[in-house]
Amino acid sequence: MSNLSSRLSELIGKPVHQIDTPALVIDLDAMKRNLGRMAEFAKKHHIRWRPHAKLHKSVLLAKMQLKAGAVGVCVQKTSEAEIMVAGGVHNVYISNEVIAPAKLARVAALTQAVAPHQGQIAMAVDSLEGVTRLAQAMTEARIGGRSPATVIDVFVELDVGQGRCGVEPGMALSLAMEIRKHPALRFVGLQAYHGKAQHLRSAQERRVAIASAVDAVVATRQLLEAQGLRAGLVTGSGTGSLVLEAASGVYGELQAGSFMFMDADYAQNERDPAQPQFEHALFVKTQVISVHSGHAVCDAGHKSHAIDSGLPKVHAFDEKSQLEYFNGGDEHGILRPSEGNTRLPGLGQMLWLVPGHCDPTVNLHDAMIGVKGGLRQGTVERIIAVDARGAMT
């Protein structure tokens, strides 16, 4: 892909219309405003924020977030953590279960690679076997590594309504007690992420969901305290519900990541009045390659944007009319005028799509093209590598 890299680098300083398609483009001004809004929100609510780097998979954007006040980043995969640490991002929380001994050895190696003054590696667990395997890997790394006293921070994951990973309060107590038996593991708190709540459309439904997550956290805290244990930090939340966790009084850390780019899907949520006004900042630039009676075809299909949370929206095609995007397969999008309109774009016309879901969309691209000065008149400012693209293990 070195051809692609050099082709992209040549764009720096060039006007936006020279970006060939399809391409993933960041409106850097909008992204910066989103970042400022999040920093301000966290400050106002006296809450830590540790944005999820699974969104952007970029060391550069992670560092931009740290500079704006984030305490570190979350990742989902060991390989993502490795790429962040190698890039100089040292406070990394793998907010997911890791079970394979080969991967746990890599996690333990990361704890050896990060010096205490630089940062701290953390991981989630939800099984006794998981704790035992992690302890085993840490013990081996302590023997073989440069520091015999390295620890890993461990969060116990609660199932707060997602129905995926995570345990009930009683089991959380058992896991916390087990973690405390191992000198290389440090029980630091609870992960209470409610993924499903993020995409509930009405503010009221989200309130009910997060209230029930808070109940599970409180119940767990009581069990822990009855055994003389502190629940520690409660981490979770996402862009859809962050207002609620921030106001809950029990969450101490927000993991929201998508606010940086704002998915088309999130924009369909009824906005809580307390929610910062995040803007769309990530776009797929595409162009029309075929025009017919009643439809046009563009060159962006689902190899250039993820469709798990719905098809992309066509952004500001025309002041008077709108286009709707229909699935045209891996490499094509079908465009039709939305109801009440008739105008179609012409051959070669450039269009901007707002992806339904930004995380897996970014993962399809090697790089994001950062633009300043807007999508119409702007200039390419920098190329941002998707460092952890395809980092799955």
- The CB-side HSE value for 121 (13 A sphere, CA atoms) comes to 31
CB atoms within 10 A of CB 21: 17
Find residue 186's DSSP bridge partners.
Answer: 153
**Residue 9 sits in the site that holds a second copy (CB under 8 A):** no
CB atoms within 10 A of CB 292: 9
**Residue 13 sits in the site that holds a second copy (CB under 8 A):** no
From residue 350 to residue 369, the character string flagging contacts with a second copy as x (rule: CB under 8 A) and all else as - is: ---------xx--xxxx---
**Residue 102 sits in the site that holds a second copy (CB under 8 A):** yes
- The DSSP bridge pattern shows strands 295-298 and 333-337 to be antiparallel
Nearer to a second copy, 195 or 373 (CB): 195
CB 206 within 8 A of CB 272: yes
| Shortest distance in whole angstroms from residue 360 CB to a second copy | 6
**Residue 56 sits in the site that holds a second copy (CB under 8 A):** no
Q: Please give the DSSP secondary-structure letter assigned to residue 312.
A: P
Footprint of a second copy on 147-186 (CB under 8 A)? 159, 163-166
Footprint of a second copy on 104-143 (CB under 8 A)? 126-127, 129-130
Residue 313 is inside which H or E element, if any?
strand 313-315
Footprint of a second copy on 195-254 (CB under 8 A)? 195
Task: Rule CB under 8 A: choose which of 27, 82, 153, 245 binds a second copy.
Answer: 82
| Shortest distance in whole angstroms from residue 51 CB to a second copy | 15
Nearer to a second copy, 211 or 347 (CB): 347
CB atoms within 10 A of CB 307: 16
**Residue 3 sits in the site that holds a second copy (CB under 8 A):** yes
Q: Which two tokens stand for residue 287?
A: 């162009």
Task: Rule CB under 8 A: choose which of 151, 238, 304, 375 binds a second copy.
Answer: 304
Q: What phi and psi values does residue 156 have, to the nearest 5 degrees?
A: -90, 125
Contact window for a second copy (CB under 8 A) among 113-121, 148-156, 228-236, 330-338: 330-338
Please state, in angstroms and rounded to a whole number, the distance separating the CA atoms of residues 351 and 348: 9
Nearer to a second copy, 250 or 298 (CB): 298
Residue 360 is inside which H or E element, if any?
helix 358-362
| Shortest distance in whole angstroms from residue 345 CB to a second copy | 12
Write down the residue that tokens 């990973």 correspond to: 165
**Residue 392 sits in the site that holds a second copy (CB under 8 A):** yes
Please state, in angstroms and rounded to a whole number, the distance separating the CA atoms of residues 149 and 154: 16
- Gyration radius of the chain's alpha carbons: 22
Q: Residue 131: which residues within 8 A CB-CB, separation 6 or more? A: 125, 154, 175, 178, 179, 182, 185
Q: How far is CA 8 from CA 4, 210, 283, 384, in A?
A: 6, 43, 16, 10
CB atoms within 10 A of CB 295: 16
**Residue 336 sits in the site that holds a second copy (CB under 8 A):** no
Footprint of a second copy on 254-293 (CB under 8 A)? 287-292
| Shortest distance in whole angstroms from residue 273 CB to a second copy | 28
Contact window for a second copy (CB under 8 A) among 112-120, 136-144, 250-258, 324-332: 324-332
Please state, in angstroms and rounded to a whole number, the distance separating the CA atoms of residues 288 and 22: 10
Nearest to 155 by CA among 182, 110, 191, 192: 191
* Per rule CB under 8 A, count of chain residues that contact a second copy: 64
| Shortest distance in whole angstroms from residue 368 CB to a second copy | 12
**Residue 96 sits in the site that holds a second copy (CB under 8 A):** yes
Nearer to a second copy, 5 or 222 (CB): 5
Nearer to a second copy, 166 or 232 (CB): 166
| Shortest distance in whole angstroms from residue 102 CB to a second copy | 5
CB 73 within 8 A of CB 52: yes
Q: Which residues of the shown chain bind a second copy in the complex (CB under 8 A)?
A: 1, 3-4, 20-23, 54, 76-77, 79, 82, 96-100, 102-103, 126-127, 129-130, 159, 163-166, 195, 287-292, 295, 297, 299, 302-304, 306-308, 327-332, 334, 347-348, 359-360, 363-366, 389-393
